[in-house]
């Protein structure tokens, strides 16, 4: 039976309800790393050695293997979830099975696998079942061709990237930046080779944010534009029917869904009105049969914070950080209580338009630091702008919690329990509700997140929060 959401504003009150308490009292720097993936698990990081996963379907926490982070756990520690898990090459297969080169540690049914090359390239398939252990076999729905040793793939399973604080400049601490892979149940240093442990900034403290731009959100790709190419070149794809603004797709990614070159994914370096240029040459040049999708870039993670205007970008494939040089610098440094969210799902007509390219283009960041200022980073233009909104009177500082959910950014002001809603399309701030359960002492570290119940076309959204200096865990249905 399909769920019908009959809640109405004014008629139905917003209520906070008690959930399973956190396994540890929140302290300075504790934070939640959210995963907007199939099961929507949330990682609570409590120290350099302790992390738990919260499963909203069961309302329970389970402890993970130790992150074993380098450095001292303190303000500035932060994390972000991504959508892409292990990649690999099959060793063999059938029309309905892929024998991987992975040692899987979990049952992954309900997650998906994207075939990036070889037989059935371009297909994104639900995982029906899998074996556990070395050279695990993944079962999928029967396909037209048999998978083989030339099949390459990537698992659409969550990873959580975690960056620890660094107290003083000039120190290099190994394992300060790591990721946890859900499929493998392993922690891995995120930077490779000689650069392992080199953080994006000399000092990581005060307050910080990692921000990803995943192509896969919840249970599908979030496409900002789709179409069929009219031609292709060594590093280009042409759609002569388009009239894109110059470089509106820069730093997004393009995926060949079907047709010639299916399964390939490339970062976009630039575009003209009709031609997209990618950062590395195609293995197989697209042509007039190639169906494409333009999406968030799975390879990029952005870092901001530490009481500095500097912005950094991490390449997952390269294992390296780049210091960005925006054409317009950020107007001021973010401080305690800052935010950082990639905005991708605003429903307003102008935001959903391919020509406007608003969804997927911006990172919104309130500066915190006991102020009300809001900045917006343009991913395509590599430029900052100060945003005007009204009323810009409420200020945010230590203890503030943030959640981005579709059309709005929600915020609890420090430890007051007062919640607000910043409407992205209208650039307006409204009061939402008062959370009456008392917080403890204010803390740097964001422990709020969102969870959505999906039933066909019906979404019922919840905001969760673990209170400051507390184990109390609450949720509120968004009406």
Predicted local distance difference test score (pLDDT) of residue 110: 94
Q: Examine the domain organization and report whether 230 and 368 are in the same domain.
A: no
**Helix or strand (DSSP H, E) at 477:** strand 473-477
Degrees, nearest 5: CA angle 109-110-114: 95
Residue from 115, 101, 114, 82 nearest 317 by CA: 82
Dump pLDDT digits (tens) for 188-214. 999 766 555 678 998 999 999 999 999
Predicted local distance difference test score (pLDDT) of residue 197: 65
Is position 14 within any domain?
no
Q: Examine the domain organization and report whether 165 and 310 are in the same domain.
A: yes
Which residue range forms the structural domain that includes residue 279?
223-292
Predicted local distance difference test score (pLDDT) of residue 196: 58
Predicted local distance difference test score (pLDDT) of residue 193: 62
* Domain stop point among 105, 123, 156: 156
Predicted local distance difference test score (pLDDT) of residue 170: 64
What average pLDDT score do residues 152-166 get?
A: 96
DSSP 469: T
Q: Examine the domain organization and report whether 162 and 133 are in the same domain.
A: no
Residue 278 has pLDDT above 90, yes or no: yes
Cis bond before residue 391 (omega within 30° of 0): yes
What are the strands of the beta sheet with 275-278, ordered from one edge?
Answer: 223-228, 291-295, 253-258, 265-271, 275-278, 236-238, 231-232
Is position 102 within any domain?
yes
Average pLDDT, the chain: 95
Dump pLDDT digits (tens) for 53-85. 999 999 999 999 999 999 889 999 999 999 999
CATH code of residue 326: 2.120.10.80
Dump pLDDT digits (tens) for 327-352. 999 999 999 999 999 999 999 999 98
Neighbour count for residue 272 (Cβ, 10 Å):
14
Residue from 223, 226, 261 nearest 242 by CA: 226
Dump pLDDT digits (tens) for 40-56. 999 999 999 999 999 99
Tally of CA atoms within 13 A in the half-sphere of 86 that contains its CB? 22
DSSP secondary structure letters along 39-87 = T--EEEE-SSS-EEEEETTTTEEEEPSP---SS---TT-EEEEES---E
* Domain stop point among 103, 137, 156: 156
**Cut 0.85: pTM above it:** yes
Is position 206 within any domain?
yes
What average pLDDT score do residues 392-418 get?
A: 98
Per cent of the chain over pLDDT 90 is 89
Give the separation between CA 365 and CA 363, rounded to whole angstroms.
7
β-pairing, 220-221 vs 236-238, is unpaired
What average pLDDT score do residues 149-158 get?
A: 98
Q: Examine the domain organization and report whether 187 and 305 are in the same domain.
A: yes
Is position 320 within any domain?
yes
Q: Examine the domain organization and report whether 78 and 202 are in the same domain.
A: yes
Please give the tally of structural domains in the chain: 3
Residue 274 has pLDDT above 90, yes or no: yes
């Amino acid at each position: 039976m399909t769920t019908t959401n009959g809640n109405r504003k004014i008629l139905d009150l917003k209520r906070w309800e008690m959930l399973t308490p956190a396994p540890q009292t929140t302290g300075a720097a504790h934070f939640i790393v959210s995963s907007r993936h199939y099961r929507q698990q949330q990682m609570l990081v409590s120290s350099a050695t302790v992390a738990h996963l919260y499963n909203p379907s069961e309302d329970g926490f389970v402890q993970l293997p130790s992150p074993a982070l380098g450095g001292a756990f303190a303000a500035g520690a932060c994390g972000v979830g991504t959508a892409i898990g292990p990649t690999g090459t099959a060793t063999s297969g059938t029309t309905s099975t892929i024998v991987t080169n992975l040692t899987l540690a979990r049952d992954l049914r309900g997650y998906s696998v994207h075939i990036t090359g070889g037989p059935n390239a371009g297909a994104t398939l639900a995982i029906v079942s899998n074996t556990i252990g070395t050279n695990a076999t993944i079962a999928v729905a029967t396909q037209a061709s048999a998978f083989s040793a030339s099949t390459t793939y990537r698992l659409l399973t969550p990873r959580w990237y975690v960056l620890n604080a660094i107290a003083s400049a000039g120190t290099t601490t190994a394992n300060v930046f790591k990721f946890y892979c859900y499929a493998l149940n392993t922690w891995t240093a995120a930077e490779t080779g000689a650069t392992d442990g080199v953080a994006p900034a000399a000092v990581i403290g005060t307050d910080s944010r990692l921000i990803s731009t995943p192509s896969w959100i919840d249970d599908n790709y979030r496409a900002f534009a789709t179409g069929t190419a009219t031609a292709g070149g060594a590093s280009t794809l042409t759609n002569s029917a388009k009239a894109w603004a110059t470089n509106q797709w820069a730093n997004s990614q393009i995926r060949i869904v079907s047709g010639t070159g299916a399964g390939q994914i490339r970062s976009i370096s630039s575009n003209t009105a009709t031609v997209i240029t990618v950062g590395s040459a195609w293995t197989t040049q697209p042509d007039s049969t190639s169906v494409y999708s333009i999406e968030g870039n799975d390879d990029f993670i952005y870092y901001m914070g530490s009481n500095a205007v500097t912005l950094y970008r991490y390449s997952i494939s390269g294992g390296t950080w780049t210091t960005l040089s925006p054409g317009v610098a950020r107007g001021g440094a973010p401080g305690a209580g800052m935010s950082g969210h990639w905005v991708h799902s605003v429903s307003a007509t102008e935001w959903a338009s391919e020509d406007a390219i608003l969804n997927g283009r911006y990172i919104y960041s309130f500066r915190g630091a006991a102020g009300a200022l809001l900045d917006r980073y343009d991913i395509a233009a590599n430029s900052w702008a100060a945003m005007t909104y009204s009323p810009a009177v409420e200020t945010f500082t230590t203890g503030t919690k943030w959640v981005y959910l579709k059309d709005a950014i929600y915020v609890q002001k420090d430890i007051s329990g007062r919640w607000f809603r910043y409407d992205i399309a209208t650039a307006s701030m409204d009061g939402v509700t008062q959370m009456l359960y008392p917080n403890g002492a204010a803390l740097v570290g964001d422990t709020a997140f969102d969870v959505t119940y999906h039933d066909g076309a019906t979404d019922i959204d919840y905001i969760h929060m673990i209170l400051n200096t507390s184990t109390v865990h609450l949720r509120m249905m968004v009406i």
